[in-house]
Amino acid sequence: MSGDTTSDRSSMGAFNDLLSQGNARQSAYLAASSNAETFPSGAKKLIDDIATGLDAALPDDSLGTLVEKAAKDPDVFEVCTLNALSLLSARRGLWQEAESFARLAEARNQTDLWAQRLLEAAREKRADPVLEVDAWLESRFCPEPFERMMTQPSGAVHFCPARWQPMPLGHLSDDPDTLWNAPAAKAIRKSVLDGSFSCCSRHLCPQIRERRLPSRADVLAGNSGAAEPTDRHRRLLEAGDTHVKQPPRRVSLAHDPTTNTSCPSRGIEIIALGREASDRLDHAVIARYTRFLTPVESVTLGEVGEPFASRHMMNFLKIYCREKSRRRDLHLHSNGLLPGEDVWNRLNLWQHVSSVHVHLGPSMTHSSCPRASAQLKRMLPNLHFLGHLARLKLIDELVLTLPISRETVTEIPDFVRMARHLGASRIRLTQPERCEDEQDICDPAHPDHEALTSLLGQPLLQAADIDITDLADLPSTPALEVT
Ligand code: SF4
């Protein structure tokens, strides 16, 4: 790729043309990557074609130079071209280059399933690219696409969080009954039933990453160990049907990203939907989903955003509680700043709520953030109220969650004592979804990681009300019984 002879310059021109042609296929690649009915073959064919075109133009020693170029200027190559370069490198046994290209592709789009696969394949030195985890998945089962549905801030509707399974079933504006058995829904179920799990992220779905899925043999024998009704799972697997007559058991409404906390030092900003956008959501969602949710066992709000700060979610709750019989089917996630007695009365939430999950956000646990203590002061009366509801059994569960980082680790004992005093049924210590390296104390390579593992072994945290399942892969974390 260096030199300045006429022939070098013309081959460089031809090579640049090939790269441009590869990049030009990015829109088609994106469409193929989100189409559950054709994935993975549709997207793979595009990558294959680009790799084949580049093969003749690229000598082996040029791939390392291209890695440097792509690292220096990430916009030069589209994800499909980076994936094609990774595939090409793997076919030539250039594992380091294959891994670098795939890593760069994944950095451009974290949910790109082909980038994830190629990255893993390069690490396992496989040109096919079939992974070790694929063999494990062949004998596994996941009930989620037969039981769960969730709306997303993008307006798309999925079975699982979009990061775990990027293929949507459709859009919020579609009829949810139709979406439940839409062609994409059937294709995803088929991929689970045939053991390929082709629409699921090997990197981001915790059920796969932590090898938690039950084996088919156990499900068929009724020994899956799942808390869910195993008989239903056995019947699903035996029937092998991609059309599911029963409605979902669990629905999560996570389409409104409205938040009411900010922390400028961390780049966390308040998100507020305008009146028009909120009215549009009311129009698209409330009537349709209130009807659709009638037979659903569990309805979760607030896995994204803060429902009590959202005009749309408050409207939804008001109408839902007015029109539905009281059956404790709501599971509400909140940062605790707003759900007090006045809100409970205003929305008439009494006997509609099964559980409340209060998550202390990063802005509340950031000791140097001036807003943190004011926010904690504001939420305490609400926490007292919610704890009171839990003690009187007016809700089934109050769960308080603290994300663990270097900043919050010293606060764990006080947090646990406070949560118990308030009446929390369960205290969760979790790994934050996003965490800068210097804060990521859950990483065994972090210099303060040992302090965390020894803290987790203390008697205060050795109790049934402490849930550290998300931290279970910490090497010296004691195995706890979690109820
Ligand atoms: S394996 Fe993960 S991503 Fe796939 S259906 Fe199950 S929970 Fe969802």
Are 429 and 468 a contacting pair, CB within 8 Å?
yes
pLDDT tens for each residue of 288-344: 999 999 999 999 999 999 999 999 999 999 999 999 888 999 999 999 999 999 999
| Nearest residue (CA) to ligand 1, atom 2 | 205
| pLDDT reported for residue 483 | 25
Query: 284 with 431, same domain?
Result: yes
Does pTM top 0.85 for this prediction?
Answer: yes
Residue with tokens 């090579």: 15
CA distance 104 to 112: 11
Asked, for residue 419, whether it belongs to a domain, the answer is yes
Query: 226 with 260, same domain?
Result: no
Are 104 and 66 a contacting pair, CB within 8 Å?
no
Query: 36 with 15, same domain?
Result: yes
Q: How far is the centre of ligand 1, averaged over its atoms, from the C-alpha of 361 (Å)?
A: 26
Would you state the structure tokens that stand for residue 67, as one six-digit string? 């890695």
**Is the CB of residue 205 below 6 angstroms from any atom belonging to ligand 1?**
yes
| pLDDT reported for residue 263 | 64
Residues forming beta bridges with residue 156, ordered by sequence position: 171
Would you state the structure tokens that stand for residue 433, as one six-digit string? 């979804």
Alpha carbons within 13 angstroms on the beta-carbon side of residue 251 total 21
**Is the CB of residue 191 below 6 angstroms from any atom belonging to ligand 1?**
no
Instruction: Describe the strand order of the beta sheet including 250-253 as a list of residue ranges.
Output: 170-171, 156-158, 148-151, 250-253, 298-301, 330-334, 353-359, 397-403, 426-430, 466-467
Are 118 and 100 a contacting pair, CB within 8 Å?
no
**Is the CB of residue 208 below 6 angstroms from any atom belonging to ligand 1?**
yes
Substitution site in 116, 136, 165 for ligand 1 pocket (most atoms within 8 Å of beta carbon): 165
First to last CA, the chain: 61
Substitution site in 157, 160, 210, 213 for ligand 1 pocket (most atoms within 8 Å of beta carbon): 160
Query: 296 with 444, same domain?
Result: yes
- Domain range spanning residue 147? 136-153+180-239
| pLDDT reported for residue 454 | 85
Number of domains composing the chain: 3
**Residue 295 CB neighbour total at 10 angstroms:** 9
Query: 406 with 271, same domain?
Result: yes
At what angle are helices 6-23 and 41-55 packed, to 10 degrees?
170
CA distance 148 to 128: 33
| pLDDT reported for residue 12 | 67
**Is the CB of residue 160 below 6 angstroms from any atom belonging to ligand 1?**
yes
Of 327, 413, 338, 415, nearest to 382 (Cα)? 338
Substitution site in 134, 144, 192 for ligand 1 pocket (most atoms within 8 Å of beta carbon): 144
| pLDDT reported for residue 249 | 96
**Is the CB of residue 144 below 6 angstroms from any atom belonging to ligand 1?**
yes
Q: If the chain, 483 residues long, is cut into consecutive pieces of 10 residues, what is the mean pLDDT of each piece?
A: 52 75 94 97 96 88 89 91 96 96 96 98 96 98 96 97 96 97 98 98 95 93 70 88 96 94 68 91 95 96 95 97 93 94 96 95 57 81 96 97 86 91 94 72 83 87 86 44 28
Query: 259 with 184, same domain?
Result: no
Asked, for residue 173, whether it belongs to a domain, the answer is no
Query: 346 with 387, same domain?
Result: yes
Asked, for residue 140, whether it belongs to a domain, the answer is yes
Residue with tokens 């990774």: 86
Query: 109 with 195, same domain?
Result: no
Specify the CATH number for the domain of residue 296: 3.20.20.70
Query: 283 with 415, same domain?
Result: yes
